[in-house]
Amino acid sequence: MEKWLKTESRPAIDIVNVIAGIALVLSPWYFGFAAETYAAWNAWIAGAVIALIAVGALVAFHAYEEWANLVVGLWTLISPWALGFSALTMAMWVHVVVGVIVAALAAGSLWFFGDRPLSTA
C-alpha cells in the first residue's frame, strides 16, 4: 500500500499544481485585474513559475522542486499584502487560494514522498 501511495499519487499532485499555476496566469484576464500592475504581474510570474516547476516534477521528481513550489506558494499567499494589492478583493482571493493549494500540496509531497520511513514499528 505505501509503495502504491508513493508512486501513484505524486503525479496527481503535480498535475494539480500545473492547473493551479495556469489558473493563476489566466486569472488577471478572467477576473478583470489585468490593469493592476502589481497584482497582474505577480499572477503571471508566480503562476508560470508554479506551472513550470510542476511540469519539471512530472518529468523527474526531485525534492528541490517541491521546496521551490513551497516557497513560491507561500509567496503567492502573502503577496497581496507584501505588494499592496490586498484591497483588490478578487486578486487577493485568487492569490490566497492558489498559494494555499500550492504550498499545502508541496508540503504534503515533501512529507509523504520524502526519504524517510513511514513508521518506526
Q: Which domain holds residue 74?
A: 2-113
Q: How confident is the model over 5-27, as pLDDT tens digits?
A: 455 567 888 899 999 999 999 99
Stated pTM of the model: 0.83
Which phi-psi region, left, alpha or beta, contains residue 117 (left: φ > 0; alpha: ψ -120 to 50)? beta
Q: Is residue 62, in this structure, part of any structural domain at all?
A: yes
pLDDT confidence of residue 29: 96
Q: Is residue 119, in this structure, part of any structural domain at all?
A: no
Q: Is residue 8, in this structure, part of any structural domain at all?
A: yes
Q: Is residue 118, in this structure, part of any structural domain at all?
A: no
pLDDT confidence of residue 64: 76
Q: Is residue 66, in this structure, part of any structural domain at all?
A: yes
Q: Which residues of the chain have pLDDT under 50?
A: 1, 4-5
pLDDT confidence of residue 81: 97
pLDDT confidence of residue 4: 44
Q: Is residue 121, in this structure, part of any structural domain at all?
A: no
Q: Is residue 45, in this structure, part of any structural domain at all?
A: yes
Q: Report the domain count for the chain.
A: 1
- Round the CA-based radius of gyration of the chain to a whole number and report it: 15
Q: Is residue 30, in this structure, part of any structural domain at all?
A: yes
pLDDT confidence of residue 60: 74
8 Å CB contact between 85 and 94: no
pLDDT confidence of residue 6: 52
